Chains A and B, each alone.
Chain A
């Protein structure tokens, strides 16, 4: 007897339909085989399925069982074929009929219950596109799949419940999408409020500008000067994801299994801070079966690279293309996968090997050759793609009077966020139909279109170009940053003061 059940396979962010064909033969020795390029996890599903069926109170058929996963030439991986295989076998035993246009997906536990499985959101997307109507997924993954409207998502707790449903004894109610508190846990909230950071006025302002225009930023400063603290305060001033962006990020997080059980939409911008010992594959993405790396997980969010100069050169160079294009293509002989990676880079570095160059109190003990060598560790092309450069110096807390320490003198993250949101709104309206969201994404033609400079402003920029020896690319960066400053100011045109302020964040040290 041949039974067909439908499931799907996720290849990167693409999903293809997989037919799970289950054949139970009365002839031959009893056995259980899976064919169709299963990987180890799929192959092991035999044991899980057998145990789960027995646990559900059904006798496992003593027949020769062959499961074929078609198309047979695409490698199948993961544990989510458990449910379709089990349903195929159960159908032959219990003789119930399956609703048409249904997709099954989920990992089984030995006791017959279903576990949270990665990729449910992608599956739901695919189901809708393919015109399918019913989706049977583990209960914990149902909220994630239910984001997609127009299909029925059945949250299945265990096999017994599902057989009861098909036998018409007790029906499962389709899940309705609801926002869950679990999503708030992603990412961790800001560790600091901006008002907890004393001094650092210019650095804080630079952070505000960076977030407002999604500009890449690098902080250079001695150990203990507060670089990390500034970065960790960033989530508190970041705008939430737009609906469109939210779906993009959710897709990535679902594919990588980063959505918590019961979770659903990723609504806030992610803050990823990988350590500099992370492997290139972990950071950029790749592997035998291409997986997204940290840069993709930071999509539409922030990638914070502390101690940037300690990152291996190869990793920095590999980041160039995604920084420019906003996505990464990983090619393997058998497949090509494209992962989005449009992130805001926040980097921090020491000015020299000992870290105390230009420190107000401590003496630097590095020779100029060591300093040059150290500063060359950061790749020039990467620096070229960073719009804002700031120097962070340690703050002498003693210097602050009680008056200045009082919080009313220091702006809170909430207040800064208000300005950021307003500036983002202006940008969204400006770039309607351009396919970009922020000033930092502007290409040269768009800069010409949206950042017209008056004669006086152009004059200032030209003079600055001579005095500060700005490169052609730096010119463009300055204009983009000035545009964001003008947006923060609510100004239509870029004024002299906006351009002049932008020039403060030009590349300083680390460029020769």
Chain B
């Protein structure tokens, strides 16, 4: 890997992010990699989620972040695997900008196997930020520090999935004390990683149903894009065969395995398999593990 320049910015500096300056115990120095443009800090949304992101969580992250990131909102997260990784990756893939706040020294990539994502962030006008210099390894005490920066940089925090007593809830705790808005994605209560988000909603976080809920908060209009999207989908659906339409009908309520579809429709598995492949190739449905869902 080629060495990327590490830069420092101090709290007295004019370029130091305004929002971050306001928080209690703001870091005196910020180390960063990438191009430090002030407009990247203008509209920041923190997207945080459980390390044990479910397929539902990943899909919701992709759905929401891809629409938000293309509108020029910077996605801030903590570069951990799971929810953070999904947020960064979706933002980069949608062509948006993203900031990764590291829990370790600026020279360390943690977790190291996400190096490809690390480079992608930098190559797409993103930033890598850390409060810590050099080769410091992440420790229990560095994570809350990192979380406070994630919350501090952002106008609002979007929680996709979180367990009770999780690091994600520490981030939202900071956000609350800084007076930032909190959005939460509802999920099934039988899932451990939806109980944290449910608690946030109970405490007054705003429920997110689609990207427009968040975009409205940032004063960005959403009408045209969503309309265009849905009309495109409808015109595509017309080309489907009768069986494919039936499959789509069943997938609308929940994602299902091929076996269950075959049983529900009483159609041989070989036919179901072939249809699923073709629909996947055409892009109507996606697959996570062995379950299929509508794109």
Contact = CB atoms under 8 A, between A and B. Distances in A.
| Chain B interface extent, by class | 20 to 34
Interface residues of A, number: 33
Given A200-B259, A393-B290, A369 B273 contact: no
B42 interface: no
Contact of B259 (A201, A358, A363, A463): A201
B273 A500 contact: yes
B273 A501 contact: yes
B270 interface: yes
B113 A369 contact: yes
B113 A205 contact: no
Q: Which label, helix, strand, loop or mixed, suits the secondary structure of the A interface?
A: helix
Interface string B36-53: 000000000000000110
A498 B271 CA distance: 9
B52 A364 contact: yes
B270 A485 contact: yes
Contacts of B113: 369, 372
Interface in A360-410: 363-364, 367-369, 372, 391, 393, 395, 404
Contacts of B262: 201-202
A203 B81 CA distance: 31
Interface in B127-167: none
Interface string B256-292: 0111001100000111011111101101000011100
Interface string A251-263: 0000000000000
Contacts of B111: 368-369
Q: Which label, helix, strand, loop or mixed, suits the secondary structure of the B interface?
A: helix
Nearest to A495: B274
A209 B81 CA distance: 37
Interface in A460-509: 460, 463-464, 467-468, 485, 496-498, 500-501, 503-504, 509
A448 B20 CA distance: 63
A199 interface: yes
A203 B273 CA distance: 11
B192 interface: yes
B281 A460 contact: yes
B55 interface: yes
A202 B52 contact: no
A500 B274 contact: yes
B82 interface: yes
A355 B281 CA distance: 30
Interface in A200-253: 200-205
Contacts of A500: 273-275, 277-278, 281
B289 A202 contact: no
Interface in B13-46: none
Nearest to A465: B281
A501 B259 contact: no
Given A202-B258, A205-B270, A404 B290 contact: no
Nearest to B191: A363
Given A367-B51, A369-B113, A391-B289, A497 B274 contact: yes
Given A199-B259, A202-B269, A367-B51, A504 B276 contact: yes
Nearest to A411: B268
Contacts of A485: 270
Nearest to B259: A201
A202 B273 contact: yes
Nearest to B82: A368
Contact of A201 (B263, B275, B283, B289): B263
Interface in A319-366: 357-358, 363-364
Contacts of B257: 202, 393
Nearest to A209: B270
Given A202-B259, A460-B278, A497 B271 contact: yes
A368 B81 contact: yes
B52 to A, nearest CB: 7
Contacts of B192: 363
A404 B289 contact: no
Contacts of A393: 257, 259, 290
B76 to A, nearest CB: 21
Nearest to A361: B190
Contacts of B276: 504
Contacts of A503: 277, 281
A265 B276 CA distance: 45
Contacts of A460: 278, 281
B290 A391 contact: yes
Contacts of A509: 289
Given A369-B113, A391-B289, A497-B274, A404 B263 contact: yes
Nearest to B291: A358
Contacts of A463: 281
Given A200-B259, A201-B263, A368-B82, A504 B52 contact: no
Interface of A: 199-205, 357-358, 363-364, 367-369, 372, 391, 393, 395, 404, 460, 463-464, 467-468, 485, 496-498, 500-501, 503-504, 509
Given A367-B51, A464-B277, A503-B277, 8 more contacts: A357-B289, A368-B51, A369-B113, A393-B259, A467-B283, A497-B271, A497-B274, A501-B274
Nearest first, the 4 A-B pairs at minimum CB distance are: A358-B289, A500-B274, A201-B269, A500-B277
18 contacts: A200-B259, A201-B259, A202-B257, A205-B269, A358-B55, A363-B192, A372-B113, A391-B290, A404-B263, A460-B278, A460-B281, A485-B270, A496-B274, A503-B277, A504-B258, A504-B274, A504-B276, A509-B289
